[in-house]
Amino acid sequence: MKTWYVKDLSQLTKVSVQTLHYYDKIGLLEPSIRLANGYRCYGEKDLLKLQQIIALKFFGFQLSKIKAILKEDINVFDSFLKQAKLLEENAKTLFETSKTLNEIISNCDVDKSIPWKTIIKLIEVYRMTKELETSWAGRIFSPEELKQYASFEQELKTRFTKAQKEAFEKEWANLVQQIGDNLDKDPESEFGITSGKKLMDLVNGLYGKKYAGLRTKIWEKGYKEGQMEGEHALSPGIVEWLDKAVDAYYLNAIENLLLQIGSKSKSSKEIAMEWNDLLENMCGDEQSLKDEVVEMALKDDKVSEVAKKWLRANFLKITN
């Protein structure tokens, strides 16, 4: 059987003598052979154990965890699974940090001072993104959308005054209460259409065109699929009613606007401007959603053939 003194084992494994002494001190790897002259040395089993320690350290395990694994105090397979997940998360964190740093570099001029305000904002967005991953937002958004939502939340902190925030929250609470008290009414009635308009005026004022895609995703995947939680949550009954009311509001707005095609009250150019405003109100900058609205209007029996011809001539080309 082969044996090694501490210096020899150090040369063989490239682990420093100081480290081997430390492993001995903490009981992680003790020389198992004592010679007749009283010297202690390492045997082949010790070498195998040291190689295991080196491997486990490579995979990022702490010494205390390595000690427990080698003593078989914990399940090795489970430990490997957990460590693999931890390494994946760390790799993701490093990659996102690298992207953030490259984004800063791309926006900097070597001759200019470091934009610390921009850097701090990017870091705050990154941190908020990590926090949001474990919330309702992490369940409905893609990684890129989650980052965009974090930017939106960050902007909200400075976009509105305290009074404006309180006014919004009060108006939202009043609307929800009003709808909850009138769920027996037809969402396609005048009350429903008015309520749908109030809702969209509120949320569009909050998200704007820039974040209209997030607004739609939150409604479709968050509210309608019951993924919201805490102060964001609405009862399924209110969500279902509001969904129909908003559809009724937009359908009414589309039909009323297209009724004016061919009339002398407004020019085609004026109507086109109002149509674009309506599409932006509904869809923000999401062109695919705008295309869907055009297609829907072309299938609506209440829309005249004159109006459909106008749509085909001016807006259908965007879908081809």
Domain boundaries, the chain: 6-70, 76-156, 160-319
Exposure letters 60-72 (e unless 16+ CB within 10 A, then b): ebeeebbbebeee
Q: What pLDDT, on the 0 to 100 scale, is given for residue 237?
A: 93
Other C-beta atoms within 10 Å of 133: how many? 14
How far is residue 50's CA from residue 15's CA, in Å, rounded to a whole number? 9
- Of the candidate CATH numbers 3.30.2140.20, 1.10.3720.10, 1.10.760.10, 1.10.1660.10, the domain formed by 6-70 belongs to 1.10.1660.10
Beta bridge partners of 33: 41
Contacts 24+ apart (CB under 8 A), 188-191: 188/244, 188/245, 188/248
Determine the 3-state secondary structure of 4 from DSSP: strand
Write the DSSP assignment of 170-221 as a string of letters: HHHHHHHHHHHTTTTS-TTSHHHHHHHHHHHHHHHHHHTTTTHHHHHHIIII
- Mean pLDDT of each 10-residue bin along the chain, 320 residues long: 90 92 93 87 92 88 88 76 80 77 70 66 77 88 88 86 90 93 95 95 89 89 86 86 95 92 84 90 81 90 91 69
Does the predicted model carry a pTM greater than 0.75? no
Dihedral sign for Cα 264, 270, 271, 274, please.
Answer: negative
User: What is the predicted pLDDT for the residue at 319?
Assistant: 41
Query: Residue 219: which residues within 8 A CB-CB, separation 6 or more?
Result: 243
pLDDT of residue 113: 65
